[in-house]
Amino acid sequence: MSSPPAGSKLTRELGFRDLTLFAIVCVVGPRWIAIAAHAGPSSITIWIAAAVLFAAPLGVAVAALMQKYPGAGGLYVWTREDFGPWHGFLAFWTYWFAIALTLPSSAMAAISTSAYAFGSKYAYLADSRVYVLVACLATIAIALGTNLVGMRIGKWTENLGGITTWVLGAVLVILGAVVYSRAGSATAIHLEPEWTWDTLSFFGMIAYALSGMEFIGMMGAEIRDPARIVKPVVFVATTVVGLFYIATTIAVLVMLKPAAIEPLHGLADAGNVASAMFGWRWITPLIVLLFIVTSIGGWGGMGAAVSRMPYAAGVDSLLPAAFGRIHPRWHTPYVSILTFGFVTAALLLLLQVGETMRAAYQTLVSLMVIAGFIPYLYLFASAWKARHRIAAGLGLLNTALAIASSVVPTPDITNVWAFEIKIVAGTALMIGAAWWVYRRASLRRASAVAPSSPTRIRTPS
């Protein structure tokens, strides 16, 4: 069995402030504000329901499992210890690909919005494949690169992103209040949702937008005094995220009617309303800048956290030994981070072939919801075994609902059969690839270990 090089290990760089900002920026995705507002005021009710019935149980489960299984690896280690190596590997594999899909979709939204920072003359860039792809690749490289060279540096990317999350929320709420005082609300706020297939599909997206607290579990070996700070971090971050989404969605709906809100660049559209009403030409560029900085912080945090899972799998010899290596100077799983970056870039390119920008975005969202929620079945089942039955039951129910909702196409999808085939094929390919890699690694490991010399898979520290 492989192990990290002597003298190289993950270092404990994350205190209470760092971990709280890390959790907030990893969960918050500003793009979800426009998606929710585009769906109408009933999304506010769905935000509240998902926060209470999914995000809160997730926080309880994560805190409990971090206490039960300290160390690096998080979701992978929890599932491996409770359900066996294959299930741990499957949870890691699908979750890892879900985040590899999340970054391109998040980057597409952020970069499409960034075009509005240059003025209306350059707004066409929001739908330019060349501009979006090049800028996405550049900003993802910045996010992952700062975390590649060590958490002592990388954590400041996440800290800055977490701080700008607060600022972005405050700016949008203030703008909404000012516009309301001048012209009233552009949208009549009716909170009761219409229970249709579109609503079901939307619930899965909202639940996914509130997911992510498990990222801090993957950083367990890099948290200072986790037994003391994890529970308050989870409580503060979960509360902030819920309030952020609810308040900013209301603010955008006050400024724009749902039909006028573009999911890819709706926050810039809201800024343009305030700019036109009050002559504040700087407001849209400010919103765009905050959006970009917050997003980069989130991409860095997600990339850093999810790379601790292939590191743990590499230590377990279920991936090539290189994945279990820690850089002797940077103290990061550098091979895992670089691999994640390359796969993310490839997915960003491949998943848009032959589609409109909006349809490509929807395919990315649906695939990442399915891949991201399969591991939650294990997470909440582990929470059940840890005797947190209410949180586990709520989490399992809402996870199953979110997975079912992700196969329901939105009105943006013009070719339903092509959409469904891509979703089914993409999911089958992920699971099949996981089994193939795991099976080969298991056979290779079995042939390298004498039958009379049993070994115990260890938890990375």
* pLDDT at position 142: 92
Asked if residue 17 lies in contact with residue 290, where contact means CB atoms within 8 angstroms, the answer is no
* pLDDT at position 248: 95
Closest CA to 210 of 27, 397, 62, 394: 27
Record the tokens describing residue 84, joined without a space: 């066996």
* pLDDT at position 201: 66
What sign does the CA torsion over 57, 63, 66, 72 have?
positive
Record the tokens describing residue 154, joined without a space: 């990388």
Indicate the DSSP class of residue 273: H
Q: Rounded to whole angstroms, how far apart are CA atoms 173 and 163?
A: 16
What residue has token string 């079912």?
404
* pLDDT at position 144: 92
Q: How many helices (H) and strands (E) does the chain have?
A: 18, 0
Write down the H helix ranges in 71-196: 75-83, 85-114, 129-148, 151-183
Quick one: how far is CA 20 from the chain centroid? 16
For residue 223, the SS3 value is strand
* pLDDT at position 61: 95
Claim: this prediction has a pTM higher than 0.85? no
Residue 263 φ/ψ, nearest 5 degrees: -60, -30
Q: Rounded to whole angstroms, how far apart are CA atoms 302 and 145?
A: 13
Q: Rounded to whole angstroms, how far apart are CA atoms 335 and 325?
A: 7
Domains of the chain: 16-448 (1.20.1740.10)
Record the tokens describing residue 274, joined without a space: 């305030």
Q: Rounded to whole angstroms, how far apart are CA atoms 263 and 286?
A: 19
Asked if residue 153 lies in contact with residue 146, where contact means CB atoms within 8 angstroms, the answer is yes
From the number of C-beta atoms within 10 Å of its C-beta (0-12, 13-18, 19+), residue 243 rates as: middle
Q: Rounded to whole angstroms, how far apart are CA atoms 284 and 290?
A: 10
Closest CA to 305 of 81, 110, 146, 96: 96
Q: Rounded to whole angstroms, how far apart are CA atoms 373 and 351?
A: 20
Residue 223, beta-bridge partner list:
14
Asked if residue 66 lies in contact with residue 217, where contact means CB atoms within 8 angstroms, the answer is yes
Q: Rounded to whole angstroms, how far apart are CA atoms 302 and 99?
A: 7
For residue 356, the SS3 value is coil
What sign does the CA torsion over 47, 51, 52, 57 have?
positive
Asked if residue 304 lies in contact with residue 151, where contact means CB atoms within 8 angstroms, the answer is yes
pLDDT averaged per 10 residues, the chain (length 461): 45 89 92 88 90 93 91 87 93 88 81 75 74 88 90 87 93 93 85 66 81 90 88 94 94 91 81 83 88 92 90 86 86 90 84 55 66 90 94 91 73 68 80 90 73 48 50
* pLDDT at position 5: 35
